[in-house]
Structures are given as C-alpha cells and as structure tokens.
Amino acid sequence: MPDPGKKITMTHKLLILMLLVASLAACSPAAPAAAPIPPTAPPVPPTAAPVLPAATPVPPTAPPVSATPTFAPSSRPAGDGVVNGWAVLAEKDNYDDVKMTNLPIGYTNTLQLRLVLLNFGWQASHIREVREFDQASLRQSLDWLTKNADADDVVLLYVAAHGKYMSDVVKWNDFIAADWAAVPSQKRVLVMDTCQAGALTAAVKGDSRPYLSIAAVDKGEYGWSGLEEEKLPIIGGVFTHYLAAAFNNPKADADGDGEVSIQEAARLAETQQRAYMHDVVLAVPQFLDGYHKLGSYPERDPGFPHVIVDDAIGKPVYLKLDKSAASGKLGDIWTRPADGMTMVYVPAGKFKMGSDDDGFKYAQQLCKKYGGDDAIATCKPVAFADEQPAHTVVLDGFWIDRTEVTNKQYRRCVEAKVCTPPVDSSSYTRKFYYGDSAYDNYPVIWVNQQQAADYCKWAGARLPTEAEWEYAARGPEGRIFPWGNTFDGKRLNYCDVNCTAGPNDKTVNDRYADTAPVGSFPTGVSWCGALDLAGNVREWVADWYGRYPPRQEANPTGPISGTSRIPRGGCWLDTPDDVRSTNRGENSIDYTRHKVGFRCAKN
C-alpha cells in the first residue's frame, strides 16, 4: 500500500484519471474504440510487474494451424485413464494496433497462472501462452487444445484483455461456442478477466457437455486492472491476483477435503476482489469519479463486482494432476516431506557456463553504471576474471528448491537437533528476525556453508553444485539473468532506493531495504520455475572455489579441495552486475552474513 499521507500532485491525479476513464470507457458499449480494465496479478506479495523485453510463448506440442481452422471433429479422443492438464493462457497488454488504451503490466496475469499450473504438476509443454493475440491466434490455440486433450484431461482457457477488444475486434461471440464445443475434455474450464466478462462467458452457456465458466465481473460491470502509475497494492487484474493466490490459501478449502478446487478458488477470489474494490479502489475519489463519468455507481452495490460462475460439471475440478502424468520433465514439481519445500525439475541438458567476451564486457558496463563512487576502482576486469573461460557443461537431470530455504523450515532442523541455529538472530534492519514468526517465510541467513549442507542432508537433499545452480538460473539459452538478457530491477530484491548498505539504484522501488519473503518476485522466475535466483540472498553451493577449466565437463563438482566456498546469485544489497547468473562469490568456509542463505538440490 502507498503511504496514505503521501501527497499526489495535480498532474499525477490528472494522469491517473485519464487512464481510468479511457480504460473504463473501453468496456462501455457507448465508447467508440477503447478498452476495459483487464488482467491480473500474482499469488505472492504484489510487485509492480514490468514489461517483458519480448513475448516468448511456450512452444506448442503441435505446429500452428491455419488462421481459419475447421472445428467439430467427427470423433472425440477417448480417455486414457491419465489426467493431464492442457492450458491456453491468452493476454493482450498492447493496443496500439487497435487504438485502445495500453495496459503495460508485463503479462503479469498469464505469468502468475502459468506458475500456479507448474506448481500443480502441469507440464510446461502443455501450457501455451499467447501474448498480443488476435482472433486467428486464439482460434489456432483452441484447435491445439482440441488436437491434444482427451476426455480425461483438465483443459483451461484463460483470457485477459479489454472487453471491447474481445467483442468488437476478436469477434468472440462469432466462434467461441463451436470452437469450445470441439474440445473433447469433460473438464473444460473457461476463465475471463475482462470488463463485462459475464457477457463473454454467456456465449458458451448451453453447451451440451460438462464445462465450468468463470467471469471476473458480470455483464455491464467494469472490472479493475491496476497500473503502476496508480500506486495501489495490486498491479494487474484484481480477480486473477486473488484467484491465483487462492489455490495456496487454506481459507478457500470450503469443503475441508484438503484441496482447493477451481470453484472454491473463484468464490474466495470473489470475496477478496469485492473487498479490495470497495476498500481500496473506490475509496480513492478520482477513481470513483471515473466510474461516475461513465454512469456507473458501484459504491451503491455492496455486492459489486459479481463473479459469475456457470458450473455444468457439478463436481469439484482440481488443478492438481495425477502424478503419473508428469515425472522427470520440465515443469514437474515435488514436495519434500521433511520440510514441505517445493522442488522443481531441471531436465538434463548442456549449456555454456561462465561469461563469454560479450558477457564480460556487459558485466563491466553494469558495474560502472550502478557502482557509485567506487565504480572506477571496483569495476576493473580482474573483478570478473573468474567467470572465464566460458566452457560447455553437460548435466544430468536434477531437482532444485523453488525458493530459498526459509527461517521456519530451518527451525525444524534445529528443533530436530540436527542443525545448529544461525549465528545471529537479527537481519540488517531488524533486531529480531530468526525466531520471530513475522519472518517465518523469509530466507534463513547467518548460516555458513557447512550449516547449509547439514540442513540439506537432513531434508533428504544436498547443496546444488555450482554448475547445477547456474544451469537452473540460465537454462540452455545461457541467459544473463533468470528472466532474460536485460536487467530489470522490478523482477528481484536488490539494492534499490530503499537500500542504505551500498551504491543503490534510486530509479526502482522494490519495497524492501533488507531481505524479502521468498517468492516475492514471480516475474523473476527462471526457465525451470525456480524463484529468487537473482537477488534477495546469496546462496551457498557445494563446490570449493577455483578457476574454471578450459574444456567441456560432465556433471562437474569443482576442485577436490580448497580454502573457500562459493555463494551465487547476489542479494538485496548488491548492484545489477552482482546479480547476473554468471557472477561468482568467494568466502571463507566459516563465513556467515545477513546476506547469505541457500537452497537445496536432489538427484
């Protein structure tokens, strides 16, 4: 939440009001050409979602079909007894092509839902993200669902866009009924996060086979998609934000069966969206005035906004899949019994480890740009020399923790009398940290490399090798950062305007002057689904520190002995050059600090 006492300039108010009116007008039937308030945000603490450098959809399992495919197959695939998941996640943020209001939220909606699906065991190759879609690409994706899913599978079609774009440009009502009916699954789920979404989901009403449709708002209602300029807690569609979060919220489990169904998640999201709209959005006079200018008075309806659920399935539908459907593939997850940690699978592969000459130069450029007064002295080539030579590494598949190990998880090992407590219970800005339940979900710090190794062994795992850690962060493409090749301060916890411990970047506010709860920056997710591999805390790996070899290696474990260990990934007080995925640290074997933690791996 922004500081309620902070003054907003008149220019800022006018900008926000213009954005609001333009967005709401696009939902209105009377508007000539504009857009609704669309998408949605993350299941973790809300973070301003940045615009991604490039739209890179998850590749489909079949090649794209023609823009006008023929639907209604003559025979439907029979069920094979295995429940797989198939999803199309469609989002449009840029409307320059149709002269509607842009929504620069960095595809936050589909990113968060994709992460939810991966966490429930959906294979990455079964999730098709369609960014900046039109009618042709959306219909191709529906045909992809028809060709791949069978009767036993769970199928999800999610759309976040301006409502007027869907009705007037995509011509949704012209094709969706037939295309939806062609998908053979008996568990088809349609989720629409647009203005007047109820009018769009109504187009499939009356389908003769089981389906579940969920509209974020009713027909005639204007939803809300938060923009960074508004300085409100949620960036993106409010409904999707709460829907994604509900699957990990015990309060959503209304029937007490230990699992959250899609229907249960939608009902909790409705309650939370309603409270947020009345208590946060409509409490801002200029936002409420924007609704009034369109003839809408949502403050008069305590039930606003109304989520419309049309359940023709009649029994709970779960995102959690049969484990036999996914094992040892990219996108698989596993929950470690000892501490409840979610691990993500990293498939076998090879990559270039270390920095090539271009990466070496880029590191120096970042260092000089963000290094402050000491940049000339600290940004010399020798500072990055241990990242070379770049060399090919081949790795077997392995599992790695999705996040850093938390204070709460580490305390279990201490209570089991296997681990020793951190050497300090404070953090940089907090007198009480470890042992304070307010920071249970924050990364454990003040542990040395041996303490980290002891914990992982207790948990039935081990520390990752340096090569495994870098591969989980960079992937086969050899990314500079987990999300891509361009630094984006909104995707991680690093030394931003809040940081007082070193040279800070005053252009970004990540909301933390110290450690952040694990998983707080979902748009910083790596290719394999791991979070926080850049920033927050540096992470111990298993290897002794040493120079890289000039040759290809298979499953390297580093030098057989040494005098120092390696932390990777950078931390909350580091500058952008330090959070690159090739950057290496070197510390003594007994080193502990308020900036170093760890995660585990497993064969």
- Taking only the tens place, the pLDDT of each residue in 381-417 is 888 889 999 999 999 889 999 999 999 999 999 999 9
Residue 94 contacts by C-beta under 8 Å, 6 or more apart in sequence? 102, 104, 132
* pLDDT digits 0-9 by tens, 311-325: 999 889 999 875 333
pLDDT, position 255: 87
Regarding the domain delimited by 10-73+80-323, which CATH topology (the fold level of the hierarchy) does it fall under?
Answer: Rossmann fold (3.40.50)
pLDDT at 92 over 60: yes
List, in sequence order, every residue forming a beta bridge with 598; answer none if it has no partner.
Answer: 540
* pLDDT digits 0-9 by tens, 446-457: 999 999 999 999
Radius of gyration of the chain (CA): 25
Please state, as a whole number, how many other Cβ atoms lie within 10 Å of the Cβ of residue 130: 23
* pLDDT digits 0-9 by tens, 457-487: 999 999 999 999 999 999 999 999 999 999 9
pLDDT, position 459: 93
Instruction: Give the separation between CA 299 and CA 301, rounded to whole angstroms.
Output: 5
* pLDDT digits 0-9 by tens, 4-36: 233 333 334 334 444 444 445 445 333 333 333
pTM: 0.51
Calculate mean pLDDT across residues 286-291: 90
Please state, as a whole number, how many other Cβ atoms lie within 10 Å of the Cβ of residue 257: 11
| Crossing angle of the two packed helices 135-148 and 172-182, in degrees rounded to 10 | 10
pLDDT band at 368 (very low <50, low <70, confident <90, very high): confident
Instruction: Give the separation between CA 357 and CA 380, rounded to whole angstroms.
Output: 14
* pLDDT digits 0-9 by tens, 223-245: 889 888 888 999 999 999 999 99
Q: Which long-range contacts (CB under 8 A, 24 or more apart) does 10-19 make?
A: 12/229, 13/286, 15/229, 16/229, 16/230, 16/286, 16/287, 17/286, 17/287, 17/289, 17/290, 19/101, 19/227, 19/229, 19/230
How many whole angstroms from its chain centre is CA 84?
22
Which of 260, 65, 217 lies closest to 145 in space, CA to CA?
A: 65
* Domain chopping of the chain, boundaries: 10-73+80-323, 329-602
Helix, strand or coil, per DSSP, at residue 239: helix
329-602: CATH, from 3.40.50.11890, 3.90.1580.10, 3.90.850.10, 3.90.1150.150? 3.90.1580.10
Percent of the chain scoring above 70 in pLDDT = 84
pLDDT, position 424: 97
Write down the H helix ranges in 188-284.
197-201, 238-246, 262-276
Instruction: Give the separation between CA 499 and CA 413, rounded to whole angstroms.
Output: 31
- Which tokens sit at 44? 């973790």
More confident residue, 249 or 80: 249
Please list, residue by residue across 60-82, b when 16 or more beta carbons sit within 10 angstroms of its beta carbon and e when fewer do.
Answer: beeeebeeebebeeeebbeeeee
Distance, first Cα to last Cα, the chain:
42
* pLDDT digits 0-9 by tens, 274-286: 999 999 999 999 9
Calculate mean pLDDT across residues 427-439: 96
* pLDDT digits 0-9 by tens, 106-159: 899 998 999 899 888 888 889 999 999 999 999 999 999 999 999 889 999 999
What φ, ψ does residue 528 adopt, rounded to 5°? -100, 0
pLDDT band at 506 (very low <50, low <70, confident <90, very high): confident
* pLDDT digits 0-9 by tens, 49-67: 322 223 333 333 333 332 3
Most confidently modeled range among 244-258, 280-294, 357-371, 581-595: 581-595
Calculate mean pLDDT across residues 553-577: 93
Q: Across all residues in the chain, what is the average pLDDT?
A: 84
Instruction: Give the separation between CA 383 and CA 385, rounded to whole angstroms.
Output: 6
* pLDDT digits 0-9 by tens, 234-274: 999 999 999 999 998 989 999 888 889 999 999 999 999 99
Residue 169 contacts by C-beta under 8 Å, 6 or more apart in sequence? 98, 134, 135
pLDDT, position 12: 40
What φ, ψ does residue 119 adopt, rounded to 5°? -65, -25
Percent of the chain scoring above 90 in pLDDT = 62
pLDDT band at 556 (very low <50, low <70, confident <90, very high): very high
